[in-house]
Every structure is written in structure tokens, then in C-alpha cells.
Structure 1
Amino acid sequence: MNADFSRPVLAIDTSTSYLSLAIYAQGQTWSHHEEVGTKQSALILPALDALLKQASLSRQDLGCIVYAQGPGAFTGLRIGLGVAQGLALAQNLPLIGIDCLEAIASLATNEAYVLAASDARMGEVFYAWFNTQNLTRLSEDMVGKAQDIALPEGITTATGIGNAYNVYAEQLPVTGRSDMPTAVDYLNLALSGRFEATDASAVHLRYVRNKVALTAIEQAARKTC
């Protein structure tokens, strides 16, 4: 399925505690970016309709939908995908899923070695290595403790980016900043043409953690470590 960027494009990012939406149409971009905590499911459709109204568009005008694919907040990702998939199914629209760590890495432009790292909660970090000079991935998406992340073999310097630096800056292997992408960044990545479009039946999320919650015993064990 091919994406038609001549029609309005919607981007949805609910991978964190923020509700982030962006619309691109005829050379203009409209956006909504707000920290809403656990209220994403209640607020996403009203926020979308308000943004469409701001752009003088309706849901029926959309030609493509971009969504944050993960890894990220389990519930948030499912909310975003559910809305994206519902809109796409209703109008047979193509969808473009973009890896959240790749979106984070894109904020550190023209760097040979970038550690994209986001807070995975439960004392862990989602992370991957990228080269943003030639737009290549240097590792798979992974999850683990910040202190266990090592520089790629043979590499001595790198740049770090992502909200893991708000929590684990002293434990991560390279210095960095805590910047995170918004839906506008996901939109711009999709418009680059580097990401494949699929139909609604083929979309998926990227999970790198099998367990999304710790038992009380596991939580107690971690506190004693």
C-alpha cells in the first residue's frame, strides 16, 4: 500500500505520558502536544477533532496515518494504534509505523554513534544505537538496566538522547540530553519517504519486554538490590 502525501497526513504519538498529534496538509503543519498522564484514551479523539477543525479538515479528508510503533508505554501505544487503525479501517487508509527509538535518535542529527534511550519504568531503559549521519541502525531495540548498557565494540565516544537521561544520566555509558520527539517529528520522518506504508491489517507494535509489570515479590527484591 502506498502513502499519498498530497492528501492530509495525521501523526499520533502516545508512547509516553504525552498526547501528541500533528497534521500536515498543503505545506502546513498543525500540532497538539500535552502531558495528560493516564487520560490519553479519554482525550485523544476530542483533541484530534479540535486539531482537524483548526486545520479546516475532517477525518474523511485524511490520506495517511503515522503512528508511534514502540517501544514505549504499553497502554499508551495500544491507545494510539487503536485510534490509528480504526480511522484507517474506516477509510482504507495506509498506515506508517515508526520505531520510537529511531524517532528519538533523529533528534541527534549527523552523529556517527547515537544512543537513543527512553525510560522503560521498572528500573529499566529501552535503548538502541544508531548512526544518524547515514541513517542506519547499529543495534536492535533492547531493554535493560542503564548501568548494563555498553558502548558498541571499538567505539569510545557517542551522543545520548532520550528521557532516560532525566532518570539515569549518571548510569548511562555516554553523556546526553533528555529531548524527546513529538508527533511533528514522527510526521517529518514519515514524509521523508524512508518508511514503508501498510494497510490496517498489517500494523503492529514493537515490544521488547515480555513482562509489563512486576509482582510484589519482584518489586521487593529489586529494592534490596
Structure 2
Amino acid sequence: MTQTVLLALDTSTEFCSAALVSASADAVGQSAAEARVWVRHEQTGAVSSTRLLPAIRELFDEARLALADCDAIAFGAGPGSFTGLRTATGVAQGLAFGLNLPVVPIGTLLVCAESARLRDPSTTRVLAALDARMDEIYWADYAWDDAQREWRTVRPASLDAPGRLVLPDVPFTLAGNAAAAFGERLPAVAAARSVDGEALPHALPLAYAALRAFHAGRTVRADQAAPEYVRDKVAQTTAERMADKAARSVNAAKADHAAEQSAPRTSDGASGRRSADEARR
């Protein structure tokens, strides 16, 4: 029976995660128990880039396989840490280009849904929500299609404030770390059938989702692989900061002028100046 060998990488969070999976085509979309798996999932913080390649080498040594045995390379495309997304994308591109292999980008929010279903096979509707920092949430809504043995995207990956998530109108599982990060500020917590805070980006559920995508032909060439940031940026540019500072200075000057104009005047103008100073204070 022909085996599909797939390497999956995720560095979208503070974890460096890599998984090597070998599964028959018949097992894809069926029980995860049918696959042989090797995993490295380590909390590395900001140094995933230094740990990822050694972890990959360890996986192949443990499995007694070579990179040349791979049929495809998958990576967590995002959203997530900008630096982490670029790390996984770059490594997947480099390995795939050298081996002339297809690349399988998988969204990290879909990975959360896949993880929730692996942990509870009765899960068929998932609102995946991850803390995006800056008081915002990355989120998406997925429904499991049992006939197709695949997730259907109800609402694609978005970035919103906690109260702006659109809740499913059927019982759902809230997956990801947003519940822990925002608590009662996140209405989805109270509305969910269950909350799975452990259903997070991880290379193993990523690999299972990628196996199905690979056999369905949802792959790209190495040079087409790209992160899915969702958020356009995490900080203002220098020009934006300077413009913002200039705007604040202009507004402050206008406020000073308005306060001085509205202050009562004396014959020598002294009390008017005092009133303007007091108004500014």
C-alpha cells in the first residue's frame, strides 16, 4: 500500500512545532490512528528559527527516513507571530524548492479546529479564536462536512475586537486561547457548547489537515508559498509616528488658542492670560 510522507511545520506561536507523518492514501480523512507520526513540539519563545531545522533532522532520524522520502511539506500559514510565520514559510520553501516538492499552506485557525476535533471527534462546528495582542482576536468559523471528510469555511480568518466576533447559530466549540486571554469580555465564552483552550496551533493536527489538502490537490509551488498575516501591521511606520506627533502638536496649539480666546480680558490682559493658562491646565 502506497504511503504518503508529509512534513508539517508551525512556528506561529511561542512553540517550535514539527511533525512527520506517514499514512496510506486510504487512511487520509479517516482515523488518525492509521498514520505513523513523529513529533517535536517545544516552547522556544523567540528562537524557533534556531530550533526548527535540528528538530526536523531529529524527526527523520527517528523515523529512519530521508528528506527525499517526502511527498509534500506543509506549514502553518497564519495568522500568528509575524516573525514565526516567516520562519516556517522560509524553511518550507527552502526544503521544498531543493527537493522539487509541493507545499501545503494551512491556516493556523483551521489547525485549531482540527485539533479540537482530534480531541473530541463529536466536534462538528468550531469557532477558532486566538489572542492577536493589541486587544484584538484572530478568528474564523468552521463546519465539519462528514460526507466530504473535510472542514468547510463558514467565515474566513478575520481580526476584530472581542465583542465583534460573529457567533455561529448552532452549538459550537470555542477553540484557541482567546477565552483564556479575554474571559467574560469575549461573548463566545458564554455562548459556546464547550471551550477547548488546548486546541492550539500544533504541527500534528496541521499534518492531518495537510494530508487531506495534499490528496485533494490544494498545494502550491515553493515560490508561491506565503504567510497569511490577516493583520496588516503591528506598529506605525516612522512617517506615521511623525505625522501623528505633528497632528497632536497642532491640536494642542488649537486648544491653547481656543482657551485664550474664551478667557475674560482685563485692561492689561493679565487676568486673561491667567485664565487661559488655567484653562489649559
Which TM bucket (shorter chain)? 0.7 to 0.9
Deviations 1:131-161 (A, max 9, x none): 1255211112111221232325xx2643211
Matched with 1:222 is none
Contact 1:111 1:133 in 2 (8 A): no
Percent identity (aligned): 35
Check the 8 A contact 1:10/1:22 in 2, yes or no: yes
Is 2:140 aligned against 1:128? yes
For residue 6 of structure 2, what is the amino acid of its counterpart? V
**What are the ranges of 5 or more consecutive residues in structure 2 without an aligned counterpart?**
24-34, 190-194, 245-281
Q: Is the contact between residue 78 and residue 227 of structure 2 (CA under 8 Å) also seen in structure 1? A: yes
1:223 maps to none
- The structure that is helix-richer by fraction is 2
Which of 182, 198, 210 is the matching residue for 1:190? 210
Cα contact 1:126–1:141 (8 A) shared by 2: yes
Task: Report the number of matched residues.
Answer: 212
Alignment of 1:31-180 (within 5 A): 31-109=39-117, 110-111=122-123, 113-134=125-146, 135-152=151-168, 155=169, 157-175=171-189, 176-179=195-198, 180=200
| TM-score after normalising by structure 2 | 0.69
Distance in 2 between the 1:173 and 1:83 partners?
38
Letter in 1 for 2:176: G
Distance apart, 1:61 and its partner CA:
2.7
RMSD of aligned alpha carbons:
2.3
How big is the shift at 1:194? 4.6
> Aligned letter for 2:21?
Y
Are residue 13 (structure 1) and residue 17 (structure 2) matched? no
Q: Distance in 2 between matches of 1:43 and 1:85?
A: 17
The answer as to whether partners of 2:9 and 2:18 remain within 8 angstroms in 1 is yes
Residue aligning to 1:202: 224
TM-score, length of structure 1 as denominator length: 0.85
Are the counterparts in 1 of residues 112 and 128 from structure 2 also a CA contact under 8 Å?
yes
Greater CA radius of gyration, 1 or 2?
2
Q: Over residues 203-223 of structure 1, what are the superposed CA-to-partner deviations in whole Å (9 max), with x where a residue is unaligned?
A: 1221211112368x89xxxxx
Equivalent-residue separation in structure 1 for 2:46 and 2:108 (angstroms): 19
Gaps of 5+ in 1: 219-225
> Do 1:32 and 1:51's aligned partners in 2 also have CA atoms closer than 8 Å?
yes
Q: Distance in 1 between matches of 2:63 and 2:124?
A: 38
CA distance in structure 1 between the partners assigned to 2:186 and 2:11 by the alignment: 25
Deviation at 1:190, TM superposition (A): 1.6
Superposed CA offset, 1:114-140 (max 9, x none): 210011112211001111255211112
Q: Distance in 1 between matches of 2:79 and 2:18?
A: 18
Contact 2:111–2:205 under 8 Å retained in 1: yes
Q: Residues 39-97 of structure 1, C-alpha deviation per residue, up to 9 Å, x if partnerless? A: 11111111111221111123233221011111111110100010000001111111111
> C-alpha separation between the residues in 1 aligned to 2:96 and 2:7?
11
Farther-moved stretch of structure 1 (56-65 vs 121-130): 56-65
* Greater shift in the superposed pair: 7-16 or 171-180: 171-180
Q: Which amino acid aligns with 1:98?
A: I
